[in-house]
Amino acid sequence: MATLSFHSPSKPTSHFHLKPKPSPPLLAKVSLFRCRASVQTLVAVEPEPLFTSVNTFAPATVANLGPGFDFLGCAVDGLGDRVTLRVDPSVRAGEVSISEITGTTSKLSTNPLRNCAGIAAIATMKMLGIRSVGLSLDLHKGLPLGSGLGSSAASAAAAAVAVNEIFGRKLGSEELVLAGLESEAKVSGYHADNIAPAIMGGFVLIRSYEPLDLKPLRFPSDKDLFFVLVSPEFEAPTKKMRAALPAEIPMAHHVWNSSQAAALVAAVLEGDAVMLGKALSADRVVEPTRAPLIPGMEAVKKAALEAGAFGCTISGAGPTAVAVVDVEERGEEIGEKMVEAFMKVGNLRSVASVKKLDKIGARLVSSISR
């Protein structure tokens, strides 16, 4: 059987062998592909703050979208995290203090070096060359940890955008994604399929990590698209779910997934929700290894498709299931069937919601001028 083995950072090779060769874990191999440089100062003159405080919001995201593991993702409307950032004379110049964390979790550290929002804020300050002002940050979590909806990315995106806004919006979206990646790398790995759409909105294709090359994919505004999100009471830590992935895959699966990912991109650009759903459902590499780790997931997907969804897969690392439709009312009916399947087969309570595509990404909500 031909397999695709990732033994080189630049040259994946296909080969035939009778006995599988021992391979290092996937996470070790992923690091070979992503040799990231440390964040550099990008602004020649340190900017002064334009506001005493800002409030920002960053949306939830659906990463992978089936066959697009680590290189495709999109933002969804109505769910996300909020950050309030203030110029604070009591905080040492050039540093960030996290004053308060509220919302869906009490597990997060207020140490900025151990918090997604704090890490991203510090990285953004370094890019801006901030040395004479200290900042304090409040984080409101609208997304639970380990939900598969980009919880860490939403915190990082809201914080990075807040720092950029308070100093006059000197950085572009790709630079903010790099700041967010500093946070993601310490939490779940150096992957941008959550942080890029969280900051940029819409669908985003990551063409390359080194150098970072992001391609926004515009879904036509005259077409309808809804995501049915069903989140069970079950935590699926990203690192654990990534560790479950195979180090080698059959060449046939590589070809198949590449074809489905290309079809998914075409479907987004054409506004074809039916084709998008078909491609999203067709992953042969990641979903087959992760679905058995989420009680009831396979039954939930079956229930969604039987109820009329165009497609269904795991959102990010899970455990949230995501289905695609083009009529909101139909999405609500499908969500009910998915909730029933999670309870009946997985013995898990779950909550369903139907959301649109968020085309804006992380943004300023309000501000107070100096």
Q: Please list the alpha-helical segments (H only) found in the chain.
A: 26-33, 116-128, 151-166, 173-187, 195-200, 238-243, 251-270, 273-280, 287-290, 297-306, 328-346
120, amino acid identity:
A
Establish whether 313 is a catalytic residue: no
Q: Do the Cβ atoms of 366 and 238 come closer than 8 Å?
A: no
Marked catalytic residue, from 238, 287, 313, 320:
238
Residue 368 burial (CB < 10 Å; 0-12/13-18/19+)?
exposed
Cα separations (Å) of 308 from 284, 313, 321, 322, 357? 22, 14, 15, 13, 20
Reading the block at residue 286, the tokens are 């990641």
Residue 71, phi then psi, degrees to nearest 5:
-135, 0
Instruction: Tell whether the torsion through CA atoms of 267, 200, 364 and 237 is positive or negative.
Output: positive
CA distance readout (Å), 281 to 6, 24, 254, 324: 25, 29, 15, 10
Candidates 184, 287, 313, 320; catalytic one:
184
Is 238 a catalytic site residue? yes
Q: Which residues are catalytic?
A: 184, 238
